Structure 1
Amino acid sequence: MNINPADGHIFGYAVGWATGIDIGSDDEALTKDYLSAKVWVTPANYIAIVRHQRGVVDAVKVFKFKVPGESLSTRFGLKNMNPGRQIVTQGGPIQKSIADDADNLGDDPIFSVGGAVMHAAAGRRRAGTFSHAATPIPLNADWAHDISNIQDCPNVSCKDVRLQGTDHGTGPHLKSGTVYGNYAIYVSFDSETFPLPGDKPSLKIEM
């Protein structure tokens, strides 16, 4: 799976990846929004979240799932749309690798915080939360968006939701912003590590 928040395609939850259908093409899998339906239903024990810049990795986190052998479809798909606040990994990352020259880390939704991978829903908004980073994924398409950054609102609703890129619905509080990179999601059944920053990602990573 790959998320490009400025490729002209909105890749929200209910209007995008939760259905598990093929999205995009293999030829543009790491430059535009992409989802492999085959991998979406493949059993996995590990998940890697990879930020990359024009095909070069600059940050990686790898986690081990709490429940072994389930697919992303089972963990995050439409059949599990109301999970409450469900921690799906065994604590924090088992690998965290960030390039020395990586930019925009202060409010990055993945790499500015610690913690586990969470699948959460709250009220009328649905959040697929990696670490402690809330990424609203509402059922209303007007509020759909690819990637939001960490919001600094203290225990109240933000007036504006600060986003990466331009791929979002017409909700009046959604604000386009700087793209920090593409975010790719990889799964593995047995590999606990992922290539380091500076390496080039591909559809399949041999370890």
Structure 2
Amino acid sequence: ALGKDRRKIKSAFIIGAGIITHYLAQELLKDKITVKIVEMNPEKANKFSEYLPNATIINADGSNEEVLKEENFQNYDSCISITGIDEINMFISIYAKKIGIKKIITKLNKLSFVDILGENSFQSIITPKKIVADNIVRVVRSIANKKKNLIENFYRLENNTVEAIEILVNSDSKINNIPLKDLKIKKNLIIAYIVRNNVAIFPKGTDVIKEGDRVIIITTESFFDDINNIIEE
């Protein structure tokens, strides 16, 4: 309905052979996704050809347009640009978008580049420093929360003005088994999904939250660390 393409990704073109690529490629290959990796450093390229015999490893400059054309870049479902140089990653992703590759993932180390580009410039922008910071916040908040409604995932969005939080609900939560329409839920807060037994429920007013559910919340409130925080005191 929103015009999004939901076809399964079957091939991935990765530019840059570092630690992230090493682990990422293994996971993609497990999912039977065709993987091609382009790396300019011949020593790294040789090592990756030994580590990943089921992937295609090319020793070439992945930012060179002629190389990309020769390697049929345009025929891949996804482009993952994770070299150590932000400017190269940006260039490759802009080119991938221009030729119509449907899934583009760009690694940027400098947070200022994310602000300049805007988070909608590419389909996915990954910033390692931000991921590490968000995970530290998630762990600290979970430790601080003695009631043990554990924060399982935590992301800051829109220049840190919005938080997306996934919380595991325990048996002592005050909101358990109460229809959402009967709860006085805070303003500027959305219960996006309730995940129960690995099934995602898009909640209606008659739905309830139960022990063991994972609840995904979008909020502008800072320091949110417990599922009970969704209700007005």
- Is the TM-score greater than 0.5? no
With normalisation by structure 1, the TM-score equals 0.28
Q: Which structure has the bigger radius of gyration?
A: 2
Bigger helix share: 2
With normalisation by structure 2, the TM-score equals 0.26
